[in-house]
Amino acid sequence: MLIDMQSFYASVEKAKVPFYENKPLVVAGDPAKRSGIILAACPLAKKEGVTTAEPLWQALQKCPELIIVKPHMQEYIEVSSQIMKIMESFTDLVESYSIDEMFSDHTSSMHLFADNPIDLARQIQNKIYLATRVVARAGIGENKVIAKLCCDMIAKKIPDGVFHLQKSELHKYIWDKPIRDMWGIGSRMQKHLWKMGIMTIGDIARTPLDRLRAKWGVNGEVIWRVANGIDNSPVTLTTHNVQKNIGNGMTLPRDYSQAWEIEAVLLDICTEVTRRARKSELMARVVSISISGADFDHPTGFHRQLKLDDPTNITTEVYDAAKKILHRYWDRQPVRRVGVSLSELSGATSYQLTLFDDKEHQRAVDKVMDDIKDRFGDISILRASSVTSAGQAVDRSAKIGGHYR
């Protein structure tokens, strides 16, 4: 099964305040800090045309009586963990796909609870609702791809929110849908497929695999396998254990147009990502930064990376690399978003020594700062740039995922 929570953030907020039950409600960022984007909309708001990811002002034009609630990320994480525990009472094979979606394999345990998958899904739905007041939908299939397609395209659109899709019935329920509806197809891929005369998911499924592989390599085979409901990957507890990169980004409270301001933010982010790398005992060979401009109508910015001579998790080394990228590619236009990512990760138990830099001193400084933050909090020790008008470390310390706890 793929279990998906309906309008998750909005449902959690409605569960807390009974007055909201029959009101159109959205969870949105803070308009004063330019993050006034709809993160979740309840079904009543969606009926008025409100959609996820649209600007808050646009949503208010569609539905002036909209109730706006700021996100409470810590609560959403706690409710998600509660739902995970409920799922684990039905099977030990539960895989978190996102904060509000979970795969589960009931092949060996279903007989303990129900005679068929539909009855089992309804039991799960009921238990989740009684505990959290959140409505769950269940897509059921013989593998994860079919369960996901079933949930997204069928279960979410029917009143009881439960459907069991047989692989032999893909042509009946899925193949006539437009390609953009399929998991993994974005706007750019859609345009390329249209040029090839591929309009529906069934068109992808019937296209010779060699043709798609010649065009997109492995990605071509992936979309062909999804369209045909082919997936050999098991539901596993360790799917997300292998970390491929460590990154963080932030939308700025105002347009930053001076180099020192952007450098201050870069240092804040580098401090955060390298601390996470050290905690995971990892080092990175590649440092990437992304910069987005302030003008939505005329996008500017870049995403570039720099390969280091040796892997590192030293804050100042990563920051120096990030600054080099910034000054090489920044067009001096105002900036509204900054991100830093570390990749090509390797273990930090051994590293290259050098005669020319005092890296051991730098590692010692990082360790002391990490220890102080672990004991007394993220902002118990800061670099001076973090307390300037450009620094964001203090503000970010009160947030999870860029939103207030």
CA nearest to 221, candidates 179, 184, 173:
184
**List 13, 95, 101, 263, catalytic entry:** 101
d(CA 319, CA 328): 14
| Structure tokens belonging to residue 220 | 């071509």
263 is catalytic: no
Residue 378 known to bind ligand: no
d(CA 47, CA 384): 49
* Residues 261 and 268: beta-carbon distance below 8 Å: no
Burial track 267-293 (b if 16+ CB lie within 10 A, e otherwise):
bbbbbbbbbbbbeeebbbbbbbbbbbb
Strands (E), 9-61: 25-28, 38-41
Q: What are the Cα distances from residue 287, in Å, to 138, 197, 301, 365?
A: 40, 39, 17, 21
| Structure tokens belonging to residue 105 | 């394999």
| Structure tokens belonging to residue 198 | 């591929």
Q: What residues have CB less than 8 Å from 212, skipping those under 6 apart?
A: 204, 220, 221, 223, 224
Q: What are phi and psi of 286, to 5 degrees?
A: -125, 130
| Structure tokens belonging to residue 273 | 């990502």
Q: What are phi and psi of 155, to 5 degrees?
A: -60, -40
Residue 320 known to bind ligand: no
Helix (H, G, I), strand (E, B) or coil at 318: helix
* Residues 281 and 325: beta-carbon distance below 8 Å: no
Tell me which residues are annotated as active site.
Answer: 101
Q: Which residues are annotated as a binding site?
A: 4, 100
Q: Which residues are annotated as a binding site for Mg(2+)?
A: 4, 100
